[in-house]
Every structure is written in C-alpha cells, then in structure tokens.
Structure 1
C-alpha cells in the first residue's frame, strides 16, 4: 500500500536519482599536480614524475594530510632492476624523492604509513 502513495514514489525516485551524485562527489581522482592518481579506501595518492624528482601528494577523506605525520616509501620496478626509495615529508601533503627519475613503463608501488596509528595505504602505479 505504501508503494502506491505518490509522495513515497517521488521520494524513492529522488533518492535513487541523487545517490550517484553523492558517490561521484567523494574522492575526486582528477590530478591536481599533473601526475597519476590512485585511490584506496578514503586515501588518494597522486604520483608526480619530474625530470629529477618524484613526488607524492596524499589526501584522506578529500582533505590534504600533514606529510610530517606520515612516512612514505616507493618500490620502483623497471628494466634496470628493483629499488626502494624513502620519501621525505615536504610542504603540506607532499613527499619528495630528490634525484629519483621514473622511466616510462616503470611500475611503482607506494606505501604511506600514519606514524600515530600505523595505518597503511598501499597503491601501485605504472608510469606512462
């Protein structure tokens, strides 16, 4: 009987119509620094490969984190072999790896760890 009530139908249609907008609004994966963005849970990581610097930008719940409260490492797998690099906290939500050049086709695994809670976010990227 409730389904036949016009107001119930209108409310149901409105709820179903607006639900995708809520999902799309959360976790914007548009690169903000010209890099590659990946998301795991509530954490967004953008990897930026520069000429002689690799950087990470990290956001949780769509808010920038304070990089000094985290540690970050990258494992880089490329034709020349495999290497692990510790990143240094920089301004705001950025981590830097000076002197690191990421080549096209390299596979990069990134791990960011919250120093207080030890919560880990692990993502992988392929450099294009």
Structure 2
C-alpha cells in the first residue's frame, strides 16, 4: 500500500511539472505583431511594414542585444532571391530599412554572434 501511494505521488508530481516545462523557454506570442520562430533558445520575431523589415530577438521573454550579431535577411519569391543586411537598431531590434517584403515569400533570417555561432529562422509570409 505504501508503495502504491509513493508511485501515485511521483506520478502526480510528474504531471504537475509538465506545464512548467512547456513554458520554460518563454512565450511564443508575437510582441510586435510579427511572425515568430524559435531557433534553439532564441525567439526571433519578423515584422514587415511600410518602412522595411524589423527583427526582434529574445530568450525566455528577455530581450537579447542585437548589437552582438551580424545578420542577413534572404527573401525568395517567384524563384528570385533578394538579400539585405539587418543592422542593429537599438535594444533587441535589427532592421532592413526600405526592404520590401513580398506577400507569400519565404524569408530566412541568418544571425551570427560574436563567438561565431549561427542561428537561422525561416518564415513563410502571409
């Protein structure tokens, strides 16, 4: 009987831990109205607007300084590729000013940190 109570307690603790583990990496909700992808521990949000394309970086709901990265945006639409450099724009924001996002295009964000680690995120435009 004691063993069964012990097993039931362990099972209850395991089930209680599942929701905490599911949100351990922070929210996947867009903070700037864009599209969101996770790459490892980094959340990347892509926001297309009339002034260009912005990318926001965060880890576990905390902003990651964009100045620590070199970054490129590659867009593929109708078989043609267009590339732009994403430049740090303060805080966790990178921007490609004047870049025109094509509706329905595939967009890839490539990031390289100062240590040489690479991060990629692929977005499918709406």
TM over 0.5: yes
Aligned to 2:41: 42
CA distance in 1, matches of 2:92, 2:80: 29
Aligned to 1:127: 125
Aligned-residue offset at 1:107: 0.6
CA distance in 2, matches of 1:124, 1:26: 19
- Secondary structure of 1:102's partner? coil
**TM-score, normalized by length of structure 1?**
0.88
Aligned-residue offset at 1:52: 2.5
- Secondary structure of 1:19's partner? helix
Aligned to 1:73: 72
CA distance in 1, matches of 2:25, 2:37: 14
Contact kept, 8 Å, 2:52 with 2:97, in 1: the verdict is yes
Query: Counterparts in 2 of 1:1-128, with a 5 A limit?
Result: 3-4=3-4, 6-79=5-78, 81-115=80-114, 117-128=115-126
CA 1:8/1:105 → structure 2, altered by over 3 Å: closer, same or farther? same
**TM-score, normalized by length of structure 2?**
0.89
Query: Over aligned residue pairs, what C-alpha RMSD do you find?
Result: 1.8
- Secondary structure of 1:82's partner? strand
CA distance in 1, matches of 2:106, 2:60: 26
Farther off after superposition, 14-23 or 28-37: 14-23
CA distance in 2, matches of 1:127, 1:25: 27
Structure 2, gaps ≥5 residues long: none
- Secondary structure of 1:27's partner? coil
- Secondary structure of 1:44's partner? strand
Structure 1, gaps ≥5 residues long: none
